[in-house]
Amino acid sequence: MATYQDVYRRSRDNPQGFWRTAAYAIDWDVAPSEILDDRLAPLYRWYPDAVLNTCYNALDRHVERGRGEQAALIYDSPVTETVRSYSYRELRDEVAVLAGALRSLGVTKGDRVVIYMPMIPETAMAMLACSRIGAVHSVVFGGFAANELATRIDDAKPKVVLSASCGIEPGRVVEYKPLLDRAIELSSHKPNHSVVFQRPELLAEMNQPNDLDWVELTASSEPAACVPVSATDPLYILYTSGTTGVPKGVVRDNGGHAVALAWSMKNLYGAEPGDVYWAASDVGWVVGHSYIVYGPLIHGCTSVLYEGKPVGTPDPGAFWRVISQHGVSVLFTAPTAFRAIRRDDPQASHLERYDLSSLETLFLAGERCDPDTLHWAERVLGVPVIDHWWQTETGWPVACNPMGIEPLAVKPGSPAVAVPGYDIRVLDDDGQEVDPNQIGAVVLKLPLPPGTLPTLWNADDRYRQAYLERYPGYYLTSDAGFVDEDGYLSIMSRIDDIINVAGHRLSTGAIEEVLAEHPDVAECAVIGVADELKGQLPMGFVVLQAGTQRDAADLSEELVQMVRNRIGPVAAFKQVAVVTRLPKTRSGKILRSTMRKVADGDDWSMPATIDDPLILDEIGEALGSLGYPRGDDAKAVL
């Protein structure tokens, strides 16, 4: 058996040979002869002369090779009390007809389709239908507001938007159609059609001239065959928070993506074809793209699509129920889900009702995994708990304990070692590599492996400027951390204004842009403060326009509502303090990191460059009135 070190060395010494071999896991219309195209370096393209279809690899080939009756997708929805399984054959047939429906609307190879949908099987079908005909999908998470959807519609310029009448959150039904209509009203680009899947829980009003009913449309459509595309053609665009309100359109190609995901399913997650794999996330995030839809299906697994929460749907035993009912062997979720379960059921007493013998490994990612949560999960589940680290941009893990190659020792707080294909370095401000255990900017030596972003949608320059220019020859992850003497990575914080709320990536800059638009706000700052459940929560500080008298509670309510309307409920923005001034350096830079330390009760020293030290007293008082600092429990997660 090859060790991790053997495999890693092979990937580093001969990357092209390594990824040539990995490409055998994929069915190609034209197999790759050239592996890496570096002619436009630092922009790279994998498998430049190969041709394939991703949907064929995810569905058709499994049917052709005897997996037709195996479950491909299990839809488990405690919020609608539904469990429904789709075999590979059924899923292929549904997807083929939906692809035919899209084609009948004039969608062809290279056209974009925005998918604004909840966690229902039709969402996965929509993604696969796009890939079947070579269309480029862009899924927008349901927790985003109309404005965010409009920004994405304007950037992606879709021919068609696929949507559903509603999503279901505990305690409320989220009406998608009015949000979609509003987004199209706000956007300059107008899609030709909105195709809406009517859910029985709430029927949408089909009141726009270009509205089409999903079921009616597909009932009259012919199945479409898979369209071969170039390995370097885009499969999807997934928007993620940048440092401004304008999200970045991360592009994923077809060929490198298929190869990398197939490789990761076996070598990182230790999954075999036929296994039941469950990523408890949302298809709106990269985890959902890679490990609810494409990864498990390309690998021939059964994937669970879960429309529910870890707690409250109906209780903190929900995850255990799903594992035992469907025989899940690999579970992947964010640490926050386990913190929520532990908060509601510290003794894990709900476990007693279920047989979890199928479960082999729990993988956690999306945010830093606090050792306390890791240990609790290990103790109650009795299986390895693996923290691993990656980003929307990379599309698959960068650091991981490679369970399918060789399980390594677990070091709590560390997502373990570099995944074969990635060369992780830690640099100081001058671009010099730091010694082991020294914190610096975590970067990845170029070229990145297959499956990672080749660029940003229609924005090569922004891609270079945001990721490649800071340290030439390296991709900037924007995470800070260190590597220890054994090669184990620890991620400590972000070096930009991104915060991580319940495993969701948010830009504080984008929230500030919304607050600044309120007529009574002269200036503002948003920071991420430690939270016991969600890891971080955004908190706003606003200074009123001169001469403005406002009741602080009323103003806060307006600001919270503005952020909810403009960015969406997912921002979880609920706390605002009104202050007379913001702490700044003499050159006018807001001292956000000092404010964060005050909020979290961390040690901090008065910055030498502060223009007025007394302002921090007022910030401390404002935080005190909101109940901060929250004490060691909240900070333990950071």
Which positions touch ligand COA (CB under 6 A)? Answer: 142-143, 167, 169, 174, 281-282, 285, 287, 309-311, 333-334, 336-337, 340, 366, 501-504, 534, 569-570, 572
Instruction: State the maximum Cα–Cα separation within the chain, in Å, rounded to a whole number.
Output: 74
**Could you tell me the smallest distance in angstroms from the CB atom of residue 48 to ligand COA?**
32
Would you count residue 476 as binding ligand AMP (CB under 6 A)? no
Any idea what DSSP says for residue 49? T
Return all residues near 372 (Cβ < 8 A) that are at least 6 apart: 636, 637
Residue of 324, 500, 508, 594 interacting with ligand AMP (CB under 6 A): 500
In single-letter form, the type of residue at position 67 comes to R
**Could you tell me the smallest distance in angstroms from the CB atom of residue 277 to ligand COA?**
14
What residue 367 binds from ligand AMP, ligand COA, none (CB within 5 to 8 A, per partner kind)? ligand AMP
**Could you tell me the smallest distance in angstroms from the CB atom of residue 398 to ligand AMP?**
9
Per CB under 6 A, which region of 36-44, 117-125, 386-394, 512-520 contacts ligand AMP?
386-394
- Asked if residue 42 has a cis previous peptide bond (ω within 30° of 0), the answer is yes
Compute how many other C-beta atoms are within 10 angstroms of the C-beta atom of residue 73: 24
Q: State how far the Cα of 118 lies from the Cα of 115, in Å rounded to an integer.
A: 9
Nearest to 57 by CA among 305, 268, 332, 293: 293
Would you count residue 637 as binding ligand AMP (CB under 6 A)? no
Would you count residue 402 as binding ligand AMP (CB under 6 A)? no
- Whole-number Cα distances in Å, 51 to 33, 189, 560: 11, 31, 49
Nearest to 420 by CA among 444, 437, 399: 399
Would you count residue 389 as binding ligand AMP (CB under 6 A)? yes
Nearest to 96 by CA among 56, 62, 64, 136: 56
Cβ(259)–Cβ(54) below 8 Å? no
What residue 240 binds from ligand AMP, ligand COA, none (CB within 5 to 8 A, per partner kind)? ligand AMP
**Could you tell me the smallest distance in angstroms from the CB atom of residue 405 to ligand COA?**
23
Residue entry with tokens 């503002």: 524
Helix axes 4-13, 15-22, angle to 10 degrees: 110
Any idea what DSSP says for residue 67? I
What residue 336 binds from ligand COA, ligand AMP, none (CB within 5 to 8 A, per partner kind)? ligand COA
Cβ(304)–Cβ(333) below 8 Å? no
**Could you tell me the smallest distance in angstroms from the CB atom of residue 584 to ligand COA?**
31
Nearest to 69 by CA among 88, 84, 53, 83: 88
Would you count residue 290 as binding ligand AMP (CB under 6 A)? no
**Could you tell me the smallest distance in angstroms from the CB atom of residue 624 to ligand COA?**
24
Would you count residue 391 as binding ligand AMP (CB under 6 A)? yes
**Could you tell me the smallest distance in angstroms from the CB atom of residue 574 to ligand COA?**
7
Here's the x/- map for ligand AMP, 190-229, by CB under 6 A: it reads as ----------------------------------------
Which residue, 191 or 454, is less far from ligand AMP as judged by CB?
A: 454
H or E stretch covering 147: helix 146-156
**Could you tell me the smallest distance in angstroms from the CB atom of residue 377 to ligand COA?**
13
Would you count residue 366 as binding ligand AMP (CB under 6 A)? yes
Residues that bind ligand AMP (CB under 6 A): 240, 286, 365-369, 387-389, 391-392, 415, 477, 479, 491, 494, 500, 505
